[in-house]
Structure formats: C-alpha cells, structure tokens
Amino acid sequence: MHLHITAIPEGYKIISGEYALPLVILSVFFVCLSSYTAITMSLRANNDSFINRYIWTILASIAMGFGIWSLHYVGMLAFALPIKIEYNLVLTILSIIPAMLAAFFAFYSVNKQGTSLKRAVYSSLLMGIGVCSMHFIGMASMQVEAKHTYNVVGLVIAVVASFISFFVFSIFYTYMNRQFVRVIIGIVMGICISITHYVAMLSMKFYVQNDVVIKEHVITVVDRYNLALELTILLLILVSFLLSAIFADKYVEYRAKNYDPHTHLPNFNIFEKRLANREYKQIAVWHFNEWTNINQQFGYIFGEAFIKKIAAKFLTFKSHNVDVYRISQDQLAIATKQGGKMFEVEMRELAKKFEYPLQVRSEQLPISVACALSQAKNNIDPAKLYDNAMSIFRQSPSYKQQVIIYDETVHSSAFEEELEQDIVTALKQNELYLVYQPKINSLKNEVVGFETLLRWQHSKYGFVSPAVFIPILEKTDKIQLVTDWVIERVCQQIINWQKQHLQFHHIAINIPGNYVTSQNLVGVLDETILRYGVLPQQLELEITETSFVNNVQEAIRAVELFREKGYSVALDDFGTGVSSLSYLKQMNISTLKIDKSFIDDIPHSVKDASILRGIIAIGESLELNIVIEGVEIAEQVQFIEEHSIKPIIQGYYFAKPLEAEQVYSWYDQFNQKTSLTV
C-alpha cells in the first residue's frame, strides 16, 4: 500500500475513472440485504433452536462475508478506468475469507458473552479488520497498468466506518428480536460498510506512464451489467436458502413448543391462548384415570402408546367444528365454538367408545375415563371454561365412565379445601405412604441410593396424584408438616435397611421451595438424624429452581449451611427453568438431576442428544454427580454411558418406584443379575 504523494511522479500522468450509478446502488443493496440476513441468523444461535448454535454463527458469517465481498465485487464492476483492467481469479475468491472469518469471530463473541462496551469494541475491531483486509486483497487482485496510492484521511474514514458498522449491531444487540430494529440495523451496517469501500476507492489515485495509450473502457456497460446480474442471482439464491433455514427452524421450534410429540395434537399452550381469546363456547376435558397405573406397571413409553391410541379414537370422531388437544399427560380436551345441546350428546356418544378394553401392543387394557364438560352460558366467561371443568375433577377425581356437566352451585373449590383439611387425618391414619425409586451407577452396577416419592391413598377419593395434592399443600404451611413426616420416615427406613444389610449411599428427599429457607428445616433435620442415629451424608436434599425465586441470597445461604453440615444437595429438574445455569453458578450443590424431558427422545432426537451431552459436560466439569431421570430403554442407557464418566440412572429401566417391602426383593434380584453379568 502506498500513501498519497503530493506531486505526480516524473514520467507519469493521472487517470480518473467513473462509476455506473445503478451498480453502485445495487452493491449497497447487496450488503444491506446480507447484513439483515446475517443478523437474523446470528440471533438463532441464542434461541431454542434445533440447529447447533455454531452452525448458525457459521451461516451468519457466510451471509455477512458474502455480502461484503459482493459489495466490493459489484463496486469494482461499477468502476471503470480508461485502460485495460483484469482480475486475478484466485485472489478475487480468496478475498472473501477475511470478511467471513472476521464476521464469525465477531458474531461468536457477541452471542457467547453478551454485550458490553468492551466486547462491542472488540467485536467491531474484528469486523473492521476483516472488511479492510478484504478490500486490500480485492484491490491486490486487480491487474492493471496503473499504480495507485491512498490518501491517509480517506483511509481513516474508511476504517472508522467499518468499525461503526458492527459497533451499532453490538450496542443494539439486545433489541434485535424486533423485526423493524433488525431491518434498520441491517441498513445502517450496509451503509457503513459501503462507505468503507467507496471512501477507500475515492481516496485512491491512479497513475500511468505517459506513453500508455488511453483507451475506451475495456469492460463495456453490457459486460459488467451481465456480471452483476449473475452475482445478483447467486446472492438471492444464497439469501433465500439461509432465510428458508430460519423459517424452517422456527417452524420446528413452534411445533415443539405447541404440539405434543407423541399424538401430534396441539398442546396446552395453544389451548390456553384460544381460551384467553374466548374462541370457544364449550369444552370437554377427558381424564384417563388409569394412565398413572399403566405407567407404573408397563413404563412411560407404553403409557404414551396408550394415549396415542386414545388420541386416534378422538381424531376419528366425526363431529364438525371441534378442536382436539392434549393438555397434560393424562388429559385430552375437545373444544367447540358452537353452543347448544348437540355437543353434550356427541360427548356421551364418544364416551361409549371407551366402554370396552383397548388393545395396546399385546395388552388388553380397560379404560377408566371421565369427561368434564363446561359451557359458556349463564354469564360464564368463556376464558373460565377450563377452570370450571377442572373444578369437577378436583371435587371428585374418581369419576368413571361419566360425562359430568359443570354446575356452579355444585362444583366449587371445596375439593382443595377438603384435601388441605384432611392432611392431618391422613398422617394419623397412615393414608400417606412413601415409595422409593433406585438410582444406579450403571458402569459399576451399584445402587447409589433411592429417591423418596410421596403417595396418598385417600379414604374418600382413593389414590390422589401428587400432582394434585402437593400444589394444594404448597399454598399453605401444611407442606412443611408433611415434609417433616417424610424426613422422619426416611430416617427410620435407613436404619431398617441397614439392619437388613441393604447397601446404598443415601436417600433423597424432596424439599418444597418455601421450606428450603425456613429456620425450622435445619432444626428438624438435625434433631431427627440425632434421634435415629443417621449420618447427614445418608440424606440428600432435593430442591428445585423455585426454591430460589423469592429470595436467591437466603436460598444460597441455606444450601451452604446444608453442605457444611454434611448433607448432599441436589438441584432437581435441571434445564426446565429459565435461570438454571445462573443458579448452578451460584449454588454449592453436590448433585445435578437432569429432567426426564431431555432423555425421552434419546437417541433419536439429535437436538436432545446435543443438549444432554452439554448438560452432562457442564455438570462433570464442575465435579458434580449427574443423575438422569426417566431412563427406560437400553439405547438410552448406552447413550448415557458413552457420554458420562460416572452415570447415575433413575428410571423404569432398572426399577419403578417401590414400596419399602418391595425394595428387598428387588435388591436381591438386582444383585443376582449383577453377579451373573460379572
């Protein structure tokens, strides 16, 4: 590169070129379009995407690099000198590499670490270096009889403009989810990068020797417009492909969030939105009472096959103007925008379809089903239809083979109040009981411990799911009373199992969120283990992210205290909350429990496999024990063993939740299998 000289070299004369304005405008359009595309693709790296974030960053850098290169290439086509101009093909192609590399590292830096003034400057410098490097390599590819020099002021302006182009993106990064912001920033980036190129070109002076014959432009207008047209087609194909990938990924993300993966029915998210919009006049919520028992007996995968068969019956239902949803694991809903008695008649006809056993694989399963029908009449708000239907189940969850119509005078919140009042009686009369699910180190074939799970066999309602009664108890201080009861029973069970020489490390107890920070909990734990002679290391306290929501600092201090006293602390359902990584960074936990939703589709789901590998890697790098819940098939066990140093597996593959008496026989069978494999 030569700096500007004030005098014309002896034996040389200055020549000047001209620009074709349409091509200049086209080049600016290219880089603006590419900037917008690159920004949009870069944002996908931080979204819940099914494509790896590094792939999105690479695609964003390709879009950005190609746009900058197109600006330079078309800008050079727009520029003509009165002498012969040729280009070195290899250098012309290679000039795209600095722009792509700089874009990749700049996007990677912003996406990985977020935005700050320091990172914005760093990323912008990278981008500026890439743009300027591409320009100079591109100019080096120009083969011409003339010499050229640069004006220092022009170069400074060009470098500043290239810096500003990405600095604007970095500063406004947090607002990029808004479409109009992306468009504006894309245009600003495109204009700044265009200024970089054209100011650099305007700062150049071309000299030729005096004996060089000045000719008409070697590249004719027709030639360069044809070349520009070819490049336009190529760029549009590239942009269309990249934007199509975004739309496809968003569609897959939308399906994953809003549709059940097994039945392919819309889920509660869509159902709730349409209820809020008051789209329906009647809904029928169908509850399948046997789903939990089927899961316990045959496993989760079989349970999903059962629901899939049920959904098929719903979809063959020939009524018009109805929508079908899967709103929970054991509930489906049918909704209609029409009023009148016909919907009730149709629901009763549908109920008759479930009077006979259902064939699922090789099993004949009786179907126990209840339908709660809610109608928007008598001044009932359509948005309340679901709450009204659910109040029927809350009052009498043991309905069988019935269609029950909501009646405001009959169905109310009395069921919740009744359960809350009955809990003290349940403790005294042994209606509450515990089951234990083993946790296995599959590489060592060793029983690491058990998780304690609470059950309620109500004297009036029969088996009441924990999903029903625990949220009710958590609204009051009754959940603390129950937790204290669980702690005592578990300590008692540890002593009993020790006497029977049943070997394990610890038993896990779920601690409700509002009890974690209570002053009473530590006292109850210390007093109970002292009374039974249990070591703190034999108990593991499982807490969820909700434990930290109300007062993060108090919860962190509580966990520190538990750890100082020797208790293990596990973070349960990791990955399902919005701030799990943040809490993981702050908490002194010993165990990370990965939610079963991440193992369900392993090994078939590439995305779930990547997420699971990532969580395991994070946990093991922090020297935490990793427990994977919901493991049911051999392929899942194999996958976990391949990607974990010391995998701890909990799920139906090894055992369902067992009552204390059942644990003995299971333990003997497990040891026999282990000795045979050894």
Q: What is the pLDDT of residue 537?
A: 92
Cβ distance 464 to 523 under 8 Å?
Answer: no
Indicate the burial class of 145 (C-beta count within 10 angstroms; 0-12, 13-18, 19 or more). Answer: middle
| Cα–Cα distance for residue pair 380/458, rounded to 1 Å | 32
Tokens at residue 375, please? 């109608």
Question: Is the model's pLDDT at 316 over the cut of 80?
Answer: no
Instruction: Name which residue leads in pLDDT, 155 or 383.
Output: 383
| Cα–Cα distance for residue pair 649/440, rounded to 1 Å | 5
| Cα–Cα distance for residue pair 396/610, rounded to 1 Å | 43
Per-residue confidence band for 258, with pLDDT thresholds at 50, 70 and 90: confident
Q: What is the pLDDT of residue 3?
A: 43
**Is the alpha carbon torsion for 358, 363, 364, 365 positive or negative?**
negative
Identify the H or E element spanning 273: helix 268-276
Per-residue confidence band for 453, with pLDDT thresholds at 50, 70 and 90: very high
| Cα–Cα distance for residue pair 647/649, rounded to 1 Å | 6
DSSP letters along 484-502, please? HHHHHHHHHHHHHHHHTT-
The phi and psi torsions of 613 (rounded to 5 degrees) equal -60, -40
Question: Is the model's pLDDT at 110 over the cut of 80?
Answer: no
CATH number for the segment(s) 416-677: 3.20.20.450
Count the Cβ atoms, other than its own, within 10 Å of residue 591. 24
Domain(s) of CATH 3.20.20.450: residues in the chain? 416-677
**pLDDT tens profile 118-141:** 666 776 777 777 777 777 787 777
Beta-strand runs (E) in 406-488: 432-441, 446-458, 462-464
Question: Region 272-300: what's the mean pLDDT?
Answer: 82
| Cα–Cα distance for residue pair 517/526, rounded to 1 Å | 15
Least confident of 358-362, 451-455, 480-484: 358-362
Per-residue confidence band for 493, with pLDDT thresholds at 50, 70 and 90: very high
Question: Region 332-357: what's the mean pLDDT?
Answer: 85
The phi and psi torsions of 619 (rounded to 5 degrees) equal -60, -45
| Cα–Cα distance for residue pair 268/469, rounded to 1 Å | 21
Question: Is the model's pLDDT at 2 over the cut of 50?
Answer: no
Q: What is the pLDDT of residue 318?
A: 56
Question: Is the model's pLDDT at 435 over the cut of 90?
Answer: yes
Per-residue confidence band for 7, with pLDDT thresholds at 50, 70 and 90: low
Q: What is the pLDDT of residue 677?
A: 53
In three-state secondary structure terms, 334 is strand
Question: Is the model's pLDDT at 48 over the cut of 70?
Answer: no
Conformation bin of residue 501: beta by default, left when phi > 0, alpha when psi is -120 to 50: left
Q: What is the pLDDT of residue 221?
A: 44
Question: Is the model's pLDDT at 606 over the cut of 90?
Answer: no
The answer to whether the bond into 603 is cis (omega within 30° of 0) is: yes
Question: Region 240-256: what's the mean pLDDT?
Answer: 79
| Cα–Cα distance for residue pair 86/141, rounded to 1 Å | 8
Mean predicted lDDT score pLDDT of the chain: 80
| Cα–Cα distance for residue pair 343/356, rounded to 1 Å | 22
Number of alpha carbons in the 13 Å side-chain half-sphere of residue 410: 9
| Cα–Cα distance for residue pair 301/394, rounded to 1 Å | 27
Tokens at residue 622, please? 């922090």
Contacts of the segment 488-491: beta carbons below 8 A, 24+ positions apart: 488/528, 489/434, 490/434, 490/452, 490/539, 491/528, 491/529, 491/531, 491/532, 491/534, 491/539
**Is the alpha carbon torsion for 597, 599, 600, 606 positive or negative?**
positive
| Cα–Cα distance for residue pair 383/18, rounded to 1 Å | 67
Question: Is the model's pLDDT at 421 over the cut of 70?
Answer: yes
Question: Region 411-427: what's the mean pLDDT?
Answer: 77
Question: What is the SS3 string spanning 654-667?
Answer: CCCCEEHHHHHHHH
Domain(s) of CATH 3.30.70.270: residues in the chain? 268-412
CA distances (Å), origin 602, targets 47, 443, 613, 626: 21, 19, 11, 17
DSSP letters along 303-328, please? HHHHHHHHHHHHHT---SSEEEEEEE
Per-residue confidence band for 582, with pLDDT thresholds at 50, 70 and 90: low
Taken as a whole, the chain contains a residue count of: 678
Per CATH, domain 268-412 is 3.30.2090.10: no
Q: What is the pLDDT of residue 205?
A: 77
Instruction: Name which residue leads in pLDDT, 449 or 210.
Output: 449
